[in-house]
Structure 1
Amino acid sequence: MKIPLLLSFLAAAGLLSSCDSTPRERQEVVERETQKLDTLAERAAGKLRVAGRRAARFDSVSRVRNRQPLDPATEQALSNDLLGPYASISGLTPATIEPAFVQFMQQVRARRRQWSQRDWDYATAVSRQLNAQFRAIRLDIKGRDELHIRALQTEFTALETSRDVKDLGQAVKQP
């Protein structure tokens, strides 16, 4: 009783069909399927090569951009725009550094969608200056404020990285 049930199950699964063919027929089927897989693999490899070239091109353009020095006047103007009343970074105190980071991140969130990669370079320079001042006075900052500043620093890094990934993705997709 159990054998006919097993045979019908195997037949339904298509596992008995190989019993109805010769080894040569099965070999031909395997060769055809192998050719299909090879073709798919070649297409995928070609797409990966193209994507790799585009990513490398994006990377080299980014390196060239990063080698170009930032204009101090433009950097100062962006610093004034992003920090408002806290633009004098070296004068920030333990009481004013946290509001400066809040102001900075509010402006970054508001403007980030319109920024080019070069704009992000300038914003990163302002962020570095803020971070340097933070490190210089960190021991005098309240724990709650320090924790909030760390969260804002992390958010900035995440937004910047998100933009880099987005731009890389676009560069890989475009011809």
Structure 2
Amino acid sequence: MPATVLLAPLLTSCDSTPRERQEVVSQSARRLDTLADRAADKIKVAGHRAARFDSASKARSRQPLDKAAESTFTNELLGTYATIEQLTPTTIEPAYVQFMQQVRAHRKQWTQRDWDYATAISRRLNAQFRAIRLDIKGRDELHIRALQTEFTALETGRDVKDLGQAVKQP
């Protein structure tokens, strides 16, 4: 490479005065400030929307679930295993399988309130699981734990998706 190509930027800056270079730097700084201000405004708006979503979510979760709707939901998700408190060490694993099959099938149409009902059912299943855990075969326990983890992942994924939509909408 010729030396003149490497020296061109240096020579160009030598053709300007310090005051001219100072003005170029000031203009660049103003552009950066404007971009930073716009980004900060977008973050502030997104933060407000996220806070509103969180507030609405907390208010919704404080509302008690309708017992009749919960019973209907339980029957829909668990079928013959709907009497959760009567599940035994041999029937709890098939109950979890049934529950997760139904969750997978219906989750895309569910509202946040539907997820509240599914979560309540999951908690009841988990309580029964803890009550009889010492009598459950190891293989079944591992499968149940995997299904519990899958439910939590699906529920969290829905929460993240809903939060993302809440932050994006005007």
TM-score (norm 1): 0.92
- Identical aligned residues as a percent: 75
The question of 1:61 aligning with 2:56 is answered yes
Cα distance, 1:19 vs structure 2: 2.5
Instruction: Report the equivalent of 1:92.
Output: 87
Instruction: Report the equivalent of 1:149.
Output: 144
- Give unpaired runs (5+ residues) of structure 2: none
How many residues of Structure 1 are paired with residues of Structure 2 in the alignment?
A: 170
Cα distance, 1:15 vs structure 2: 4.8
Instruction: Report the equivalent of 2:114.
Output: 119
Show CA shifts across 1:6-26 (max 9, x none). Answer: 553353xx4543222211111
Instruction: Report the equivalent of 1:9.
Output: 6
Show CA shifts across 1:35-88 (max 9, x none). Answer: 000110111111111111111111111111011001111111101110001111
Q: Residue 47 of structure 1: which of 42, 52, 59 is its match?
A: 42
Instruction: Report the equivalent of 2:130.
Output: 135
TM-score (norm 2): 0.95
Runs of 4+ in 1 over 4 A off after TM superposition: 4-7
Root-mean-square deviation (CA, aligned residues, Å) is: 1.4
- Give unpaired runs (5+ residues) of structure 1: none
SS at match of 1:138: helix
Alignment of 1:13-28 (within 5 A): 14-28=9-23
Alignment of 1:157-172 (within 5 A): 157-172=152-167
